[in-house]
Amino acid sequence: MVASSYVDGVAPPATPAPVHSNHGRPMNTTDPAFASPRTLAVAILLALLATAAPAQEASAKREQGPAKPAAESDAAPAEEPKEAGAKKGEPKEPERVYKTDEEWRRLLTYDQYLVTRMKATEPAFSGRYATGHFKGTFLCVCCGAKLFDSRTKFESGTGWPSFWRPVAEKALDRALDRSEGEPRIEVTCARCGAHLGHVFDDGPAPTGLRYCINSLAIKLDTEPARPAASRRPATNRRRSPATRDARPQAPESTAPPEEKPAGA
């Protein structure tokens, strides 16, 4: 017979069962060692993010370069002029100029047309800018594009204006010229295609180049523009009878009448 564990017929108070984790151990919610797997995963992810954030910031700083002062970074960057000497309010200059042959004939003189459009060469020492020093910027005689600064002009003794550098490399186009026995490098206006001359490698420092240009192909911006000859249309003016009749009469001759020769 099994001995009864009850004393005086009264059952002992029940002892509460301890709360166990999945591994059979008591759960202690304050001990990180007994945290749930989801909590551990979140903690590991936060640790990884905290470690990766400084690395990403350092990489971004290396790509952006040194930090600029606040006054400089906040201010909007100033726009650089598209062309040297550009001013506010001036109309934008065209990138290319196209005209028909008939339009060039009307715009240019006969000699200018032969040089710039037919690629002729003016005689040596015949040009206006062959010798001497000038102030200003030399422009294309056809379209007005800026080509050479007068400070880059030098005396080459060849009989044509010579420059050692254009105002900008994009102001000129270059092409191989085989029209004569020796190949040469032709230079033309990049805007309108006008023939200017040739470039040689016997120029002074610092470029060592000599741009041999026809005087008829260029003009100075400091020179006053020549006004075009205006042709006034013929008008049909009617004169009043008083004005038409009031004409000065020839004075009467006081010389004696000539005698006719005898036998005439």
pLDDT, residue 49, reads 58
For all residues of the chain together, what is the average pLDDT?
Answer: 73
With 70 as the cut, is the pLDDT of residue 226 above it?
no
- The helix (H) or strand (E) run that includes residue 243 is helix 241-245
With 60 as the cut, is the pLDDT of residue 264 above it?
no
Of the two residues 60 and 166, the one the predictor is more confident about is: 166
pLDDT, residue 88, reads 60
With 80 as the cut, is the pLDDT of residue 260 above it?
no
Q: Would you name the residues annotated as active-site residues?
A: 212
pLDDT, residue 77, reads 43
The two tokens of residue 226 are: 């020549």
Cα–Cα distance list, 167 to 8, 148, 192, 225 (Å): 121, 5, 16, 21
Place 245 in a pLDDT band, splitting at 50, 70 and 90.
Answer: very low
pLDDT, residue 8, reads 54
> From CA 172, how far away is CA 187, in angstroms rounded?
6
User: Exposure string (b/e) for 123-152, b if CB count within 10 Å is 16 or more?
Assistant: eeeebebbeeeeeebbbbbbbbbbbbebeb
- Tell me what percent of the residues of the chain surpass a pLDDT of 70: 49
With 60 as the cut, is the pLDDT of residue 146 above it?
yes
Place 238 in a pLDDT band, splitting at 50, 70 and 90.
Answer: very low
Long-range contacts of 45-53 (CB under 8 A, 24+ apart): none
pLDDT, residue 246, reads 44
DSSP state letters, 97-144: ----HHHHHHHS-HHHHHHHTT---PPTT-STTSSS---SEEEETTT-
pLDDT, residue 212, reads 98
Of the two residues 37 and 71, the one the predictor is more confident about is: 37
Of the two residues 65 and 229, the one the predictor is more confident about is: 65
pLDDT, residue 227, reads 45
**For domain 108-220, which CATH number applies: 2.170.150.20, 3.40.50.720, 3.40.640.10, 3.40.50.1820?**
2.170.150.20
Express each pLDDT in 72-115 by its tens digit: 444 444 444 444 444 565 567 678 999 999 999 999 999 999 99
Express each pLDDT in 23-55 by its tens digit: 444 445 555 555 566 566 656 666 665 665 555
With 80 as the cut, is the pLDDT of residue 134 above it?
yes
pLDDT, residue 222, reads 84
Domain boundary assignment for the chain: 108-220
pLDDT, residue 31, reads 53
Of the two residues 8 and 245, the one the predictor is more confident about is: 8
93: Cα separation from own chain's centroid:
10
The mean per-residue pLDDT over the stretch 4-10 comes to: 52
